[in-house]
């Protein structure tokens, strides 16, 4: 099979504004379907006024951990545990605005350093069991990429873009095997932009979503959805999570966070490359099922 084909990303994401709880629950939360909501927190919410300059002024003095796929050893079957570089937050913000860079901050708890930021927004009552106390911020320069993965806790995610534009590619969890998910992991080695159909032929049977979010947009990513994110420009956003309405999703999240990832670390330490090689073979075999 030729290697210059693209993955089918023809599914479209609905875009809505002023959606009611009843509409959201019926059309998106219960069926677990993605949607982009404009000004979900209300047009006048202070959170939409956040900017690079604001954070440089308020938190520029703190030291942050920066991740960079180009300068760090990539481990396709697991997440980074710690950032490879430290720098002042102000310097990092200046860097991503100055030129394209793959350096990013993710899962960054800005609220830990400035608690009053919680007062800048209140989550609308469209979802239940929302983890409002722990929103996490994401910063990146043009060209930075968050490689495709599923979130370990298997929660639903409301990702809000405040500055810049991001490309978001998503796949439903039903395609996990066809995406060559590694056992004991929520990762895969496929490259969304340059898929190798000779090495991963089952990608031809996958169908996904491809969209762009900009300032004021919140994208709802249902539990277990695979997502690949690219910074089309320097960007700033944050995510709030909620538990899935389906108990099966919650149980899977408990297994992945509480048991699976720890077993994976143990086997990786004991078996080393043999463990990763087994996972690659198992992923290829499962894709054909």
Residue 112 pLDDT grade (very low, low, confident, very high; cuts 50, 70, 90): confident
Count the neighbouring beta carbons within 10 Å of the beta carbon of residue 165.
17
Query: E-assigned strands of the chain?
Result: 8-11, 14-17, 35-38, 63-66, 85-88, 104-108, 130-140, 145-149, 156-163, 166-171, 207-213, 217-221, 226-231, 235-242
Q: Record the pTM.
A: 0.93
Largest CA distance in the chain: 55
Between 202 and 83, the higher pLDDT residue: 202
Which pLDDT band holds residue 81 (cuts at 50, 70, 90)? Answer: low
Q: Is the pLDDT of residue 3 over 90?
A: no
C-alpha 267/C-alpha 264 separation (Å) is: 5
Domain range 8-287, its CATH number among 2.60.120.650, 1.10.287.130, 1.10.600.10, 2.30.30.30: 2.60.120.650
Which range has the worst mean pLDDT, 62-71, 194-203, 221-230?
Answer: 62-71
Q: How far apart are CA 230 and CA 173, in angstroms?
A: 20
Give the rounded percent of residues in the chain with a pLDDT score beyond 70: 94
Per-residue pLDDT at 269 exceeds 70: yes
**Given strand 156-163, what is the order of strands in its sheet?**
14-17, 35-38, 217-221, 156-163, 235-242, 130-140, 104-108
pLDDT value at residue 107: 74
Cα–Cα distance for residue pair 63/48, rounded to 1 Å: 24
């Amino acid at each position: 099979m030729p290697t210059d084909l693209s993955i089918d990303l023809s599914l479209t994401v609905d875009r809505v504004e002023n959606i009611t709880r009843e509409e959201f629950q019926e059309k998106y939360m219960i069926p677990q379907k993605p949607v982009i909501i404009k000004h979900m927190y209300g047009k006048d919410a202070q959170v939409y006024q956040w900017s690079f300059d604001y954070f440089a002024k308020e938190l520029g003095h703190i030291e942050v951990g920066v991740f960079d796929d180009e300068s760090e050893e990539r481990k396709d079957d697991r997440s980074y545990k710690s950032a490879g570089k430290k720098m002042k937050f102000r310097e990092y913000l200046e860097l991503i605005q100055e030129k394209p860079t793959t350096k990013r901050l993710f899962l960054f708890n800005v609220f830990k350093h400035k608690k009053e930021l919680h007062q800048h927004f209140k989550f609308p009552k469209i979802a239940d069991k929302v983890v409002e106390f722990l929103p996490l911020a994401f910063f990146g320069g043009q060209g930075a990429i968050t490689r495709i993965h599923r979130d370990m806790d298997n929660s639903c995610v409301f990702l809000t873009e405040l500055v810049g534009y991001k490309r978001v590619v998503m796949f439903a969890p039903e395609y996990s095997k066809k995406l060559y998910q590694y056992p004991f992991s929520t990762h895969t080695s496929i490259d969304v932009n340059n898929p190798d159909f000779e090495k991963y032929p089952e990608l031809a049977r996958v169908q996904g979503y491809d969209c762009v979010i900009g300032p004021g947009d919140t994208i709802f990513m249902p539990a277990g959805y695979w997502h690949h994110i690219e910074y089309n420009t320097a960007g700033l956003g944050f995510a709030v999570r909620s538990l899935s309405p389906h108990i099966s999703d919650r149980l899977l999240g408990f297994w992945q966070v509480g048991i699976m990832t720890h077993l994976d670390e143990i086997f990786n330490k004991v078996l080393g490359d043999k463990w990763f090689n087994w996972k690659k073979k198992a992923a290829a075999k499962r894709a054909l099922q």
